[in-house]
Amino acid sequence: MIDFEALWSQTRDRYSNEVELKTISTQREFKVIYDGSYDEVVVTPLLTKMPRHITKTDFRRVWEKFVKVEVNPYRPGHYQRETRNASYILALIKDILEERVEEQSLKLIHQGTNLLELKGIKGSLSGIVKSTWNELEEAVEKFIKEGRK
């Protein structure tokens, strides 16, 4: 899992320009932008138009609990004691983590190997292929390395 400083860095980058998102549980739309002069994120619900300032400290408190929650970490009720902005912070975390997964998947595709797809067919190969999955992964990695020489 990504550490907090890397997450905050991605938060600064991702929201350096205004972005529209929705809260996860209620689907309420809001705008978000990073304010570098105060090192905080400002969210403005489209319904109320009242800006809410989310400090790095608030964001960190939610993140530190988020990584420990075992069941449905995107449920705002888990964070009532940390902040009143949990719905917005959770939407930002989800957006950043999804963007990160998408970027990593694109990197794999650009490298000529879609390992996610290979793992997806793992179950369909059982019983047909006599090699173990680890042996197949090793063979694929060896093939890729030899093919690049």
How confident is the model over 92-107, as pLDDT tens digits? 999 999 888 777 766 6
Q: Report whether 96 contacts 10 (CB < 8 A).
A: yes
**Mean of the pLDDT values across residues 116-120?**
57
Number of other residues whose CB lies within 10 A of the CB of residue 56: 16
pTM of the predicted protein model = 0.70
> For residue 129, what pLDDT band results from cuts at 50, 70 and 90?
very low
